[in-house]
Amino acid sequence: MTIKAVVFDAYGTLFDVYSIQVLAEELYPSHGADISVKWRDKQIEYTRLITQSDPHSPSGSQYFRPFWELTRLSLEYTLDRLKLNRQSGQVEKLMQQYAHLRPFSENLAVLQKIKAMGLTTAILSNGSMDMLNSAVKSAGMADVLDHLISVDSIRLFKTSPESYGLVQQFIAVNKEEVLFVSSNAWDALGATWFGFTTHWVNRQGLPFEALSPQPDFSGPDLNSVLDSLVSRAILVSS
């Protein structure tokens, strides 16, 4: 098979969503880890609730709200659930930190090597364009990503087939010519069902979902994507 494009999930794959724990711990001592986990879980739960409740509307879900708004609402819910004081200043500090999440250390070098192979690179994310632009610019990745693709235009979140279909609206490729990379097992599974070649970045050493099929490739960090492209019999297009 020939891979022509490598498309990355953003949050959890390129940007460490749990790095927010450091600031959360400063603002809410002894609660940082709990905030970061519950915040992320609620954020994803809201995206699924919106998409599943109105999946067939021709103009996208009537319940759609941009990911930035869902991120704020998820944070507010998390603080309320933990019975923590939800001061506007503290919420704003956490939100601004979320706009500039820490990238994983190996990311930039890996993206540079993939670009040097002559492949198209992109992000496909639930995140809004403002969020993606902020995160990519902060991480110094603007020059190594050809496309930033947000689900905003279709008003449906991953793992809807329409969300993965956005890739082919930006890049002239067949499904199997896309190597889709995600650290979220549910995202890797959704992309596999859609027909992409998939690579799961298993940073936490977790078992894959009990549902099948397994992703085509997996590894512990983004460096393993290079192994998939070079060492595992994937023919890289010239």
List, by residue number, the catalytic residues: 9
What is the DSSP track for 151-171? GGGTT--TTSHHHHHTHHHHS
Cα 216 to Cα 212: distance, rounded to the nearest angstrom: 11
Q: Is 181 in a helix, a strand, or coil?
A: strand
Cα 8 to Cα 30: distance, rounded to the nearest angstrom: 33
Instruction: Give the E-state strand segments of 9-126 in sequence order.
Output: 120-125
CA distance readout (Å), 88 to 26, 29, 47, 72, 82: 16, 17, 24, 11, 16
Q: Which tokens go with 83?
A: 């019975």
Query: Contact at 8 Å (CB) between 72 and 91?
Result: yes
Amino acid at 108: L
**121: β partners:** 6
Q: Is 149 exposed, middle or buried (0-12, 13-18, 19+ CB in 10 A)?
A: buried
Q: Which tokens go with 18?
A: 């749990």
Closest alpha carbon to 121 in 10, 234, 1, 233: 10
